[in-house]
Amino acid sequence: MATAQMLKDDPVVQTRELTVRAVESQLSRVRDFVTEICEEASFSVRDTSNTKLAIDEACTNVIRHAYDGDWGEIRITVRIRPGRIGFSIKDTGKNFDFTAVKDPDLNQFVEVGKKGGLGIFLINRLMDDVSYRSSSAGNELVLEKSSQSLALMLPTDIGWRQSLRFRIGLRATLGLFILMAGIGSFMFIKQTDSINNQKVARWWEKQRLAENVANNSTELLMTPEVYSVEQTNLNSFVTRLLRGEDLAYILVTDLSNTILASGSIEEIFTTHSRPTGEVILRDGDVVWTRHQLDNQWIRDIMQTVTVTGVDGVTATLGYVHVGVIESVLGNDISDPRPGTVLTLFAFFLVGVTLVMALVSVFMKPLRALADGVRAIGRGSFDGTISVEGSSEIGEIASVFNDMNKKFQVVRESMVEQEKLQKEIEVAKQIQQALLPAKEPDVAGFDIAPYYQAAKDVGGDYYDFVMVDEDTLGVVVADVSGKGVPGSLVMTMIRTALRMEARGNKNASDVISKINDFVTDDIKKGMFVTMFYIILDSKNRVISYASAGHNPMILYRHQTKETFFLNPKGFPVGISLPDQALFRHSINLEQLKLKKDDMLVVYTDGVTEAMNSERDQFGEERLIAAVKQHGYLPADEFIEVLEKEIHTFTDGNPQNDDITVVAVKEKQSADDVLFDIRRTLFDMVEVQVI
């Protein structure tokens, strides 16, 4: 059981309290409580996550150590200030001073694989201030956290994160970051390989050095004579070689391990103890052994000195030991990686600056165009949209300027029907321009649309939007207004859809964001019904949502049955008393189709199509057509349905647009699995080749 209450209602400092049982099942309540507190303090996502982790770890320690399985409670009191939160965690269990624990040696934790003991370290690192008090009344852990988020520096009502400028800038910056990270990773790997190759080459140089010493030791080992010329020359040779900083020793021993040559005179004629460490390499006459000497790791390269007689028999004369200091070898190899990182970082900063500058330049004409379009939609624009930018944007602005001028003329004199007709033709051109030029090509789905414009400009709209490379969004909408206002609303709907649909596979969320985008700019009394479908060709899942639109028809090929799919939702553009009511009311539903199943989305222009006797086509005729012809491919079904509507209306002019989009499933689950396996097989075959 958990209880939470507000103890103090102060606009500057507020206090919250939560009491839970000291059991791990209550930790989820604690996390939710902390999340709510952090949202009130305008914490960023990162600060909220860090705070939840610290409080969760503190409560876990209380449950496991303070109470150690006994019954008890944890009381959390929170003081909230703008940008800062203070947590007081109280218990009545065993005391344990969190602040007295020293930071652990993380390297040791990694080496020995020890688990636990890092919780207090995390709390100290994640929170700004940590203090602990213990008394006869209980224990209290006080944690303080300040937000480092930029949200405190910016007004919360600007909506800057939702702006197109921010989104484009963020995506361009992320793309630049990924590019620079890819280049940096490639260069880092190449430079690391180069450094490693140089180190490997140094090791083989030491191997060749041992072989050289062995070649120069043959005469001394064949005729070992104390203080002979051969021994003196060999000692001088070894001493010169030992001038390298990465060499610990060079020894020449006979078969009894007696040192005959060394860089140190004191070692001559003493017995050498062979290293007993880890054997790294054993190849014929060469043995590499790793051992410690004077707190340094030494790699001993032992080269066997042999001689081959005239009879072809090889005899062993002695051994050469070259000790290489691992930590010193290769220190003179330059490491270009830090400089590369700094250079790439500098390029990234320059790139971000250029991106932001280009986004500002690019957004300026779009912003002017958007402001003008919104003003035209509200009927409050009396000037001309002035755009400086690309010719395409200038042409769009020119179209809207011409349309606005004509609309003003028509509004001043409604009797001038000829000018009104021209304005309607412009609206028709806009409406036609908004409709997709061709059907999309989506794996596994057969899609075909049918659109017939009314005598006057209607408000129907359908579109196809690529959500990602495997997912397609299909929308069918009907604007309540006609003429230019309806076309302008349709323009805003299309703009909002294409902006919000990218990468968003939640149909209800997309419609909700479209509603937020256009509601303030739609005239009172106008609204838009919309049915939005998301086709996931990879997972073969269809999600959909409706904003007060006609129900979608589902045709099951196997049973020849039809169903109405009608998720709840308000029409777009209606001013509701509660802004969150639209989002909370709209439903998201999902389904999977079997092979040859079909979905039919339509506007009321289909069912309300009339013949000369004022009879409507109606839902019954539409359902009958779906049942009778649903087995056909999508394009053939659309052709048959179009003929039936034309036969019924017999050329009678229609007052509303007619729009139908048919989506047919072409693949079964086995077909999808087969395609996946075939793709994997092709990939494996290419790699083998």
The three-state (H, E, C) secondary structure of 480-530, written as one string:
CCCHHHHHHHHHHHHHHHHHHCCCCCCHHHHHHHHHHHHHHHCCCCCCEEE
Burial, 303: exposed, middle or buried (Cβ in 10 Å; 0-12, 13-18, 19+)?
buried
Question: Which two structure tokens, joined as six digits, stand for 416?
Answer: 């001038």
DSSP secondary structure letter of residue 576: -
Counting as low any pLDDT under 50, the low residues of the chain are 1-11, 105-116, 149-159, 377, 415, 688
Question: Which two structure tokens, joined as six digits, stand for 35?
Answer: 């999340």
pLDDT (tens digit, 9 = 90+) per residue, 185-197? Answer: 999 899 888 888 8
Element (H or E) spanning 688, and its range? helix 669-688
Question: Which two structure tokens, joined as six digits, stand for 570?
Answer: 């308000």
CA distance 431 to 419: 18
φ, ψ dihedrals at 567, nearest 5°: -65, 150
Give the CATH number of domain 191-325: 3.30.450.20
- The predicted pLDDT at position 382 comes to 57
- The predicted pLDDT at position 590 comes to 95
Q: Single out the residue of 318, 289, 290, 322 nearest to residue 305, CA to CA.
A: 318
- The predicted pLDDT at position 624 comes to 95
- The predicted pLDDT at position 4 comes to 42
Q: DSSP secondary structure string, 226-255? A: TT-HHHHHHHHHHHHHTTSTTEEEEEEEET
The residue whose two tokens read 């191997």 is 207
- The predicted pLDDT at position 395 comes to 63
DSSP secondary structure letter of residue 548: B
- The predicted pLDDT at position 547 comes to 95
pLDDT (tens digit, 9 = 90+) per residue, 323-341? Answer: 999 888 877 778 888 888 8
φ, ψ dihedrals at 40, nearest 5°: -65, -35
pLDDT (tens digit, 9 = 90+) per residue, 529-562? Answer: 999 999 998 889 999 999 999 999 999 999 999 9
- The predicted pLDDT at position 10 comes to 47
Q: Where are the domains of the chain?
A: 2-153, 191-325, 337-412, 438-675
- The predicted pLDDT at position 423 comes to 61
* C-alpha to C-alpha distances, 280 to 288, 300, 302, nearest whole angstrom: 5, 10, 12
DSSP secondary structure letter of residue 64: I
pLDDT (tens digit, 9 = 90+) per residue, 606-636? Answer: 999 998 888 999 999 999 999 999 999 999 9
φ, ψ dihedrals at 348, nearest 5°: -65, -45
DSSP secondary structure letter of residue 579: T
**Which class in CATH covers the domain with range 438-675?**
alpha beta
Average pLDDT over the chain reads 81
Q: 2-153: what fold? A: Heat Shock Protein 90 (3.30.565)
φ, ψ dihedrals at 242, nearest 5°: -75, 0
Q: Single out the residue of 284, 319, 277 nearest to residue 299, CA to CA.
A: 277
Q: DSSP secondary structure string, 287-334? A: EEEEEEETTEEEEEEEEEEEEE-TTS-EEEEEEEEEEEETTTTTTTS-
pLDDT (tens digit, 9 = 90+) per residue, 74-103? Answer: 999 999 887 789 999 999 988 876 555 555
Q: Are 253 and 318 in contact (CB under 8 A)?
A: yes
